[in-house]
Amino acid sequence: MPLFGTQDTATARFGGLFTRLHQDPRFADGLRDSGISLLLVHTDPDCRVYVSADGVLTGADAPEYATLTMRSSCDTAHALWVGETSFPAAVTAGQLTISGKVAKVLELMPVLAHAFEYYPGIVKAAEEGTEPSVAVTGNRRPTLAAPTPAFELNFHRLPVEIEKFRAMVRDFAQNVVLPRAIELDRAAADSFDWDLVRQGHALGLSRVAVPQQYGGLGLGMLGISVAMEELAAADPGVALIFGATMLGQTPILYSGDPHLQAQYLPRFAGDDPVLACNAVTEEDAGCDLIIPENAIHAINVMSARRIGDHYLLNGRKRFITNARFATFASVFANLEGYPGATGLTSFIVDLDQPGVTRGPVADKMGYRACLGSELTFRDVEVPVENVIGGELAGMAINMAQSNMARASVAGISTGVARGAFEKAVKWCGERVQGGQLLYRHQFTAAKLAEMASKIDAARMLYMHAAHKVDNELPAPVYEPAAAKLFADRVAIEVADLAVSLVGARGYLRDHGVEKSLRDAYGARIYEGTPEVLALAVTECLYPS
C-alpha cells in the first residue's frame, strides 16, 4: 500500500503527516472492499487532489480549499470533532459534505478512517461543487459523535497483514531467538549476534515502519508493537535492536521530507541488514531533553553551530542503543546562543564520517543482546538539508517520537512479562508438591491468575495506544504513556512472581527466569521513566 502522497507539492506538505494512517491496511482494504473512492476537490477545477481507493494522494499543487463528499445510508445529523474544532454536518438524503481549507479537511482523514467502520452503509463518495465553507463551534476534547452501531476495537482479530507478520515473528522468536537467549545473555558485553540480525532483517524487522514505496512493510505502530511483544517474549535485547532502528527512522518518517526519505529509507530494503539509532541522552541531560519546562535548566548539551550551508556538531551522547554499528543516527543538539536545551534541533547524521567516535560498549544488567555505547562528535559537519523540521523543532520532534514509541516499548514490557509467565506456567504444570501439581494449590493459582490478567491488560493498553498513534495526529500523549507506565510495572511484578513460583531453579541462570527479572527493569529507564510518564498522564488529566 503506497504512502499517503506521491512526489509532488501535496506530498511535501502532507505526506509525512499521514504516513501512519495509510500504513494501516484496514484503511485501504475497507475502501477497496466497499468500492469507495474518497474525493477531495479544490474549487479551482484545474487543481485537484484525490484520495483513491488505494490510499494515494495525487495532485499538481497543494490546494488551499477542498470539499469532501460522502454518501451514506444514515440520515442522522452528527458532527465530526477534530482537536478543538467542530465540523458539524447534517446528513441529507444520505449525503455528507464537509468543506473548508484543505489542511483542516485533511485533518479529518484519521477520524474518517474510523467512520468506515461506524457507517457500514457508506457506498460511494462523489465530487461536490459547493463553495468552500466551514462552521467552527464549541470547545471540546477530541471525540467522534456517531449513531449506533458503535465502533468496537477488536484486537483478537488484527488486520490480515499484521496477523501474518506477527505469526512469522513469533515463529522466528520461539524457534531461533529463544534457544539462543541464555547464550546471548552470558556473552561478553561487546558481543553481537549478526546472524540473528540478518535473519530478522530477512523477515522485515528493520523496515516494519518504512512505507512500501521505499521497500518497507508499512505496518504502522500496531504492527511494530505486536512484533516487539513477540521478540521480547524470547529476548527483549533482540527486540530493542530492531526497535532502536525504527526509532532512528522515526524523525525521517515524521518529517515528510521526500529528499531525506528517498536518501535513507531504501537502505533498509536491501539484502544486508542496516541499523540506525536515536541519539538523545547525554551525561548531564536525559529527561531535560523531553520535558519542555525543563529545557532551560539543561546543562552541557551537545551543541550545533550554523556555518554557511552546514552545521558543526560537538558533544557526546551516552547509552545509545545500536551506536556501535548504526550507519546513521537521528541526533538532537542545541543551537549555539540558546540557553539550556531551548534551541534543541534534530539532525540526521551519517556516523561513518570524520569527527564521529564510537565509544566503549556498556556492560548492562539486562538487554545484553543489544549494545549500548557512546557517540562523540567533534566538529562533525551536517548539511542543512539534514535538519528535521527546521531549527528549534527538536523538542517537539523528540516529544512526538516518544509519544509514538511508548506504545511499542509497552509491547516489549508485555513480552518480557509473557516470557516469564510462560516459563512459570510450564513449571507449575509439571512440578508436583503435596501430591498434586503446583497450579492446583490455591496460592499458586492466585499468582498465576494475577499474572495472566495483568499481561492481558497490558496487551490491551498497548494495542489501544498503538491504534491511536496510527489514527490520530498529532500522536496522543495519554494512551502511550499510560500503556508504558502500566506494562513496565507489570513486567517487573510478573517476573518477580515467576522467580518465586519456580523457586531455586528460578534463581539459577540456567533456566532464564532470573534473566526476565533483570530484563524487566530496562524499559523503566528508556522512553520515559515512571516519573516522566506520570507527569505526562497527569498533564492530560489537567489540560488547563
At residue 287 the predicted structure's pLDDT band, cuts being 50, 70 and 90, is: confident
Q: What is the DSSP string of 400-456?
A: HHHHHHHHHHHHHHHHHHHHHHHHHHHHHTT-EETTEEGGGSHHHHHHHHHHHHHHH
Percent of the chain at pLDDT exceeding 90: 66
| 181 and 246 part of one domain | yes
| Strand-pair category, 432-433 with 387-388 | unpaired
* Number of domains forming the structure of the chain: 4
At residue 288 the predicted structure's pLDDT band, cuts being 50, 70 and 90, is: confident
DSSP state of 139: -
In this structure, is residue 128 part of a structural domain? no
Q: Is the pLDDT of residue 262 over 80?
A: yes
Domain boundary among 85, 118, 151: 118
> Residue 543's pLDDT is what?
84
| 355 and 453 part of one domain | no
In this structure, is residue 355 part of a structural domain? yes
Give 540 or 86, the one with higher predicted confidence.
540
Query: Domain holding 344: CATH number?
Result: 2.40.110.10
Q: State the amino acid at position 198 in one-letter form.
A: R
| pLDDT tens digits, 147-162 | 333 334 566 788 899 9
> Residue 154's pLDDT is what?
67
| 516 and 479 part of one domain | yes
| 435 and 325 part of one domain | no
Cβ(421)–Cβ(455) below 8 Å:
yes
How many CB atoms are located within 10 Å of the residue 362 CB? 18
Mean pLDDT, the chain, rounded, equals: 78
Closest to 313 measured CA to CA, from 375, 380, 388: 380
| 325 and 451 part of one domain | no
Question: In the predicted model, what is the mean pLDDT of residues 493-512?
Answer: 94
What residues are paired with 332 via a beta bridge? 346
Q: Is the pLDDT of residue 486 over 60?
A: yes
Query: Domain holding 458: CATH number?
Result: 1.20.140.10
Q: Is the pLDDT of residue 130 over 70?
A: no
Closest to 301 measured CA to CA, from 277, 335, 271, 253: 335
Q: How far is CA 41 from CA 31, 125, 298, in A?
A: 18, 12, 48
Question: In the predicted model, what is the mean pLDDT of residues 14-20?
Answer: 31
Query: Domain holding 241: CATH number?
Result: 1.10.540.10
Return left, alpha or beta for 14; rule: phi > 0 is left, psi -120 to 50 is alpha, else beta: alpha
From 86-90, 144-148, 256-260, 344-348, the region with the lowest mean pLDDT:
144-148
| 251 and 333 part of one domain | no
Distance CA 374, CA 361 (A): 7
Catalytic residues: 527
Q: Is the pLDDT of residue 350 over 80?
A: yes
Distance CA 475, CA 457 (A): 22
Instruction: Name the one residue in this structure whose C-alpha cell is 551519517.
Output: 350
| 291 and 327 part of one domain | yes
Domain boundary among 395, 418, 452: 395
| 433 and 519 part of one domain | yes
What residues are paired with 65 via a beta bridge? 101
Domain interval for residue 264: 160-269
In this structure, is residue 516 part of a structural domain? yes
| pLDDT tens digits, 221-243 | 999 999 999 999 999 999 999 99
Residue 264 cell numbers, joined:
535513507
From 73-77, 86-90, 136-140, 348-352, the region with the lowest mean pLDDT:
136-140
In this structure, is residue 143 part of a structural domain? no
| 452 and 500 part of one domain | yes
In this structure, is residue 134 part of a structural domain? no
In this structure, is residue 500 part of a structural domain? yes
| 335 and 255 part of one domain | no
Give 471 or 38, the one with higher predicted confidence.
471
Distance CA 110, CA 498 (A): 41
Q: Which residues contact 304 (CB under 8 A, 6 or more apart)?
A: 311, 312, 313, 333, 334, 335, 336, 343, 345, 347, 382
Percent of the chain at pLDDT exceeding 70: 71
In this structure, is residue 111 part of a structural domain? yes
> Residue 157's pLDDT is what?
80
Give 81 or 327, the one with higher predicted confidence.
327
| 234 and 280 part of one domain | no
> Residue 155's pLDDT is what?
65
In this structure, is residue 400 part of a structural domain? no
| pLDDT tens digits, 352-405 | 999 999 999 999 999 999 999 999 999 999 999 999 989 999 999 999 999 999
Give 227 or 70, the one with higher predicted confidence.
227
E strand or H helix at 276, and its extent?
Answer: strand 276-279
Q: Is the pLDDT of residue 50 over 80?
A: no
| 300 and 383 part of one domain | yes
